[in-house]
Structures are given as C-alpha cells and as structure tokens.
Structure 1
Amino acid sequence: MQDSEQLKWALLIATMAMLVMAFFVISFVMYYQKRRFEEEKKLNEIEKNYTRMLLDTALNSEETERRRIAQDLHDDIGTMLSLTKLSLNQLSKIIGEAGEKEDQIMRKSQSLVEETILHVRRITRDLVPTTLERFGLAEAIEEFVHKLEENSQVKLSFRCNVEEFPRLGQKTELTIYRIMQELVNNSIKHANGTKIDIDLQMNNKIIGLIVADNGVGFDPETIKENNLAGLGLLGIESRLAIVDGHVIYEKPEGGGSSAFAQIPLVAVSDKKPEPLHPFRRERVNL
C-alpha cells in the first residue's frame, strides 16, 4: 500500500515536472518567435529606410543635375545668344541699305536667333520650374498647361478644389509636379491623347493628383512585366515611395486612361523653402 502511494506521488511529481518543462519550452519558443518577428520587422524597416534614402539621393542628384544644366543654358548659351542677337542688330544697321537679298538673310538670321532664345527659355523652365519655388504648385501647373497648349495641339484643362492652394514642403511640391509632368507626357507620347484633364485635390489628410486623357489607354501591369520603362512608371513610383505615396491606374469604360496619385499631407514649417533654381547674377537678360 505504501509503495502504491509512493508510486502515485512519483507519477504526480513527474507529470508536474513535465508540464513545467513543457510550459518553459513553449514559452521559450513563443519568446524566440516574437524576438525573431521583431528582428525581421526591424530589419525590413531598415531596408525600407535604406531603399528610400537611396531613391531620395538619386532623385536629389537628378534635380541637382537639372539645375546645373539649366544654369549653364541660362548663363552660357543664353548669354552667347543674346550677344549674337545684339551683333546681328548692329550688323543689320550696317547692311540695311545693301540690298533686299541681304536684308532677307539678315531678318531670317535674327528670327532664328529669337526662336532659339525662346527654346532655351522653355528648356530651362522645364528643367527647373522656378514658378514652383516662387508661387507654389497650383501656379506652376497652370503655367505648364498654358505653355504646353501654346506649343502643341493638345487641349488641357486644370482644376483645383482649393481656391488658394497652400504652400507645401519643397520635396512634396516637386514630387507632385514631376509626376504631373510625366503623366501628361505619357498621355501625349504613348496614349496619343488629344484632351488631358488635370485635377489637384487636397483635404486635411491627403493631396491627390488625377491625370486623365482620351487616348488609347495602357495596362500598367503589362508594361511592368515587359520591362518597358519608357512610360516612366517606375520613376513615378520611386518618387511616391519617398513621400509615402502611391498611385492607382485605371482604364475608364469610355476609353482613355486615368492615374490617381495620393500623398499624405505633412505639416510644413514656416521656413521659406530653399530656391530650386539658384542662378548666379544675370549678366545679360534673354
């Protein structure tokens, strides 16, 4: 009888020991999995931040190179063209009475120089949108639409749901502006659109940009699978990734294509943004 009681107690103690051991094993496994999950989450966050930093650095380098080219065009090529224009004007006075043929050649040369100066101005504005830094996003888009309509057969419209669109951070404004440029260029060059609608929207949470056209449309997934980078879709997504934004592409039933880009609204400090186009002192006005 005593041996039977001892056996029961031994089995009970052994069972309790096994339960405690199982509890510690399970607790250790759960703790290990939790730590591993936290480490993987932390590692993914580090990789995400590192990728974002690389994208930011690459795009900053691109904008710096744009500024350098625009500055060289303005200071060097622009100055040379202006001096050429002055020289032609002086030469025109000298040979003004030489004959009708010489006068026609001179007028044609002056016209070509004037046209080249206008092209330099346009290219400079496209490279670095000074209106964006001076007046803000809505005004810069309005200027872009106006200039594009002057130089193409495409009909563009621009709408904004805010009467006086507030200033945003420099990076946010530049990101939205570049995306708008890329989407409009895609509509003209690849979708063969003849009418493009641009909508700029803002509420207390997000900033939205909608670009819709009446072109042939396209399938963004097919383009990505075929590695067709010509439409700049990867560039758009890279810019949005830096500011935690995203883009949705749609093919309306009536035809054409539509792109909707969203960016979270971030509070902006009162500090004036750094100029996008820090030109040196202008020596000769174009």
Structure 2
Amino acid sequence: MPLPFVPRTLPLKIVAPLVSGIILSIVVMVYATLGFNRLDLQNRSASGILEMQSALTQVLLVVVDAETGQRGYLLTGIPEYLEPYKAATERYQKSFRELLKLVRTHGTIDQRERLARLNTLAGNKQFEMESTIALFDTGNRDAAIAVINTGNGKRTMDALRAEYDQLQLELEREVNTGVQRWDDDIEFARLGMFMMTAFTVALLVVVWILARREIATREDQRRRVASERDRLDLEIRERTAELAELSTHLHVVQETERAKLARDIHDELGSILVSAKMDVAWVQDRLRRKDPENSAKLERALGTLDDGVDIKRRIIEELRPTLLDNLGLSAALEWQLHEICDKAKIACQICLPDGDDSALPPSQSIALYRILQESLTNVVKYAQAKKVNVSFDLTSDGVSLTIEDDGVGIPERVSDHRLSHGIAGMRQRVRAFDGEFSITRRPEGGTIIKVRLPLQRSDEKKAGTETAPA
C-alpha cells in the first residue's frame, strides 16, 4: 500500500514573517555596520580633538614659561632665570608644528585661521621678550622695564589667551557634539539590537513550532511506515510459510506419485513382460529344431524383452529405490554413489554408520537420498571432479550427511541465486524437517554440502511412507 504524500512547502503566513525577519535582520545589520563606522569616525575625531586641546595647552604653557623666565631675569638679573625662557623657546616650534599638524588633520578652516593668528601673537610676544632681554643685556635695564610698562606685551598675551580660549571653546563644542552623536548612535544601535533580538526570538518560536509540527508529522509517518512494514513482514512470513508448506506438500505428492507409479509399473508392466517372455520362450523352444531361422528371431525377441525388464527395473529404481525400502538408507546411499560415480568414472568413497538405520523415518530417508542424488548430478555436470567423499552419520538426536568433491568449486553467490533450483530444492527438503543446510566452497578447491536433520520418531505427516515393490 503506497504511503500518503506529505507536503513539504510552508504556508504563506509562516513564510511571510520569516522573509520579513530575514530582511529586517539584514537591514539592522547594515545599519549597525554603518553605525559602527560612524562611531569609529567619531572616536577618531574625538581623539584628534583631545590631542589638539592638549597640544594647544602645551603651546600656551610654553609661551607662559618663556614669559615667566623673561620677567624673572629682568627683575633679578640672574642668568639662571633665562633657562626656562630658552627651553620654552626651543619647545615652542616643536609644539606648534604638532598642533598645526593636528589642526590640518582634524580641524576646520576657521580653526586653522585662528591658529595662524595665535601663532602671529605668539611671535609678537616672543619678539617683545627678545627685545627686552637684549636691552637688559646691553645695560639698558630701565629701557627694558619701560618697554614692559608700555603694556604691549600684556595686551599681546591677553589676545593670545583670548584666541586660546576661543579655540578651546570650539574644540569643546566639537567634543560635545561628537559625544551627543556617539550617544545617539549607541541608543539607536541598542534599539536595533533590541528589535533584532525580538525578531530573532519570534523566529525561534516560529521555528520551534514548525519543528514540533515537522517532528510530529515525521513521527506519524514513521509509525505508519513501521506499521506498514510490520504488516508486510507478517504477510511475507505467512506467504513464505505457505510456499514452504506448498513445496513440502509437492514433495510429498511427488514421492507418493513416484511410489505409486513404480508399483504400477512393477505390477502391471512387469507381469506383461514376464508373461510375454514365457510365451516367446515356449514358442522358441518348439521351433528350435523345425524352423531355426524363426527360432533365431525369437531369440532376439527374448533379448529385447530382457532389455525391457532391465529398463523397467531402472525406471522403478529411479522413481523409488527398492534398496531404500528393503535394505535401508545406508545401502541405498552406497548404491547410488557407485551407480553415478562409476558411470562418470569418478573415484568415490563413503563412510557409513555401524548401527542400524531402520529407525530413520521413511520421509527423512527419501529426502537424504534425493539430496545425494541431486548433489552427485551437479558434480557430474559442473564440478569436473576427480573424487567424491560422502559421510553419513546417525546419532540419537539426529542424522547428518556430508558430500565433498575436489572439483572447480561452486561460484560465488550461486547458492543464493533465485534460479538455482537444485540447491533451492535441497534447501527446502531440509527446511521441511527444521534441519540445517549449507553449501560452501572449500579453500583447497571443490564444494562441500552439509545437511543435518533432527531425528523424528513420528512420521505420520511426512512424505514417502509408501514403499516401492521389491
């Protein structure tokens, strides 16, 4: 019975959320990537601004240090006070170059212009400090003090600090703007992650539901398949048992018909041939002196009748061996072995039990006899053997028969081939008695057939209970 088809396509109400969730996940992923890039840009920009603030503060501190050293020298005249001035003067160019580089990289045009003004003011302040120091070194201390008292240096310094404060204010604004953007991007990324997580959970729930339905469907299908398989197995076993019983019955019928036919041939054809031979012999005896020519013809007729009697006996032996019924299985097996092997010019040897085999049921006797007959026929036809060994053993619990030859050996898988009717017939005869049958290829070459049947004390239901005529 064919199994019902289980559709594999998902309904639209399930596909639509899945597709929407996938598209939304891709969009969120793209936006998150862009947000990460913006955050990275803001981070680099904030780092640059902080470096600009630090460099700007460093430039202002250098100018302040130089001014402090200048005034200390002018007030005390001690040369050691010039050391901070000289050091600050040397550091100024380096600090300013670093600040200019940062402004060109991270700053705006207005910031670069403001930095240029700041540099100009710093240059004016440096010129004023160099002038006063030069006047002081030439002995014009009063002139140097007068230059300071003019207030130009103070105004220059105030303007420089104003530019510094304005530039710092702009940088601070940029930092605050960047922080605000940073916070906005993080908040949106958090919202995106929340939405993505929510849809992921929803998708997982949908997948879980679909998985449960799929598992339930497959489990139901598995149960139906298992039930169908069990039903088919039971049907196969029943059909196999029926076929085995039918095969056994056919063997029973075959052996019964053979025995009946052998008896009929013996009783009817045998009596006809004997009567005809007696009449021909009587006539031939009367004509021997009077009509030698016709007497010779009758002599040939007697020889023909003898040949007919021999053919009758051979047919009876093939249909139902009389040795099997009169002398037992051992004698029948030995006669059959020599009968076939001697004609084929194959050396043979048989090992028989010492005990009496009369307790063996007739059905098993005829089964073993037919197995030997079929095996020897195969040896003669296919094996190309030079020697055949047969072993027959009878014990209290069973009977065994082993047939070995030194031929080419049975081909691989032939014993399992469905068209190997001879082997199948032997196997079925053994199966009818719940016995064991095996046919294998010997390692040294040739084939070995092993049969073992459990000994049956009751033979009421088996084949071959009828005996052939003596």
Q: In structure 2, what is the Cα distance between the partners aligned to 1:220 and 1:84?
A: 55
CA distance in 1, matches of 2:317, 2:305: 18
State the alpha-carbon separation in 2 of the partners of residues 220 and 70 from structure 1. Answer: 39
Cα deviation, residue 52, structure 1:
2.6
Distance 2:412 2:356 in 1: 34
User: Relative contact order (alpha carbons < 8 A, sep ≥ 6): 1 or 2 greater?
Assistant: 1
Q: Aligned-pair distance for 1:161?
A: 4.2
1:164 equivalent to 2:356? Answer: yes
Q: Indicate conservation of the 8 Å contact 1:159/1:199, yes or no.
A: yes
Q: Which segments of structure 1 move beyond 6 Å, counting only runs of 4 or more?
A: 35-42
The answer as to 2:237 corresponding to 1:237 is no
Q: Which has the higher strand share?
A: 1
d(CA) in 1 for partners of 2:358, 2:339: 23
- CA distance, structure 2, for counterparts of residue 51 and residue 82 of structure 1: 44
Structure 1: gaps spanning 5 or more residues: 1-28, 280-284
Q: What amino acid does structure 2 have at the position aligned with 1:239?
A: R
Larger radius of gyration: 2
CA change 1:255–1:84 in 2 (3 A) is: farther
Any gaps of 5 or more consecutive residues in structure 2? 1-219
SS in structure 2 of the partner of residue 158 of structure 1: strand
Q: Does the alignment pair 1:268 with 2:457?
A: yes
Superposed, 1:143-222 pairs within 5 Å as: 143-148=335-340, 153-165=345-357, 167-219=359-411, 221-222=413-414
Distance 1:101 1:151 in 2: 37
Give 1:258's aligned residue.
448
The Cα of 1:179 is off from its aligned counterpart by 0.7
Aligned to 2:252: 60
Query: In structure 1, which of residues 125, 136, 141 is the aligned counterpart of residue 317 of structure 2?
Result: 125
Residue 137 (str. 1) matches residue 329 (str. 2): yes
Indicate whether 1:80 and 2:272 are aligned: yes
Q: Deviations over 1:78-118 (max 9, x none)?
A: 22211221122012112212566544433332222212211
> How far apart are 1:217 and its partner, in Å?
3.2
Residue 105 of structure 1 pairs with residue 297 of structure 2: yes
Secondary structure in structure 1 of the residue aligned to 2:289? coil
Q: When the two structures are superposed, what TM-score results if normalisation uses the length of structure 2? A: 0.45
The verdict on how the C-alpha distance between 1:152 and 1:87 changes in structure 2, with shifts beyond 3 A counting, is: farther
CA deviations on 1:35-86 (whole Å, 9 max, x unpaired) are: 9699888666544432332112111111122123212321222222112211
Retained in 2: the 8 A contact 1:129–1:140?
A: yes
Give the direction of change, closer, same or farther, for the CA distance of 1:255–1:98 in structure 2 (3 Å limit). Answer: farther
Per the normalisation by structure 1, the TM-score is: 0.70
Equivalent-residue separation in structure 2 for 1:217 and 1:173 (angstroms): 27
Query: Is this contact kept in 1: 2:337–2:376, CA < 8 A?
Result: no
Q: For residues 49 and 132 of structure 1, what CA distance do their matches in structure 2 show?
A: 30
Query: Aligned partners of 1:41, 1:189: CA distance in 2, in Å?
Result: 38
Q: Confirm whether residue 91 of structure 1 aligns to residue 299 of structure 2.
A: no
Bigger mean CA offset, 127-136 vs 87-96? 127-136
The DSSP-based 3-state class of the residue aligned with 1:217 is: coil
1:121: how far off? 0.8
Distance 1:87 1:224, change over 3 A: farther
Q: How many residues align?
A: 246
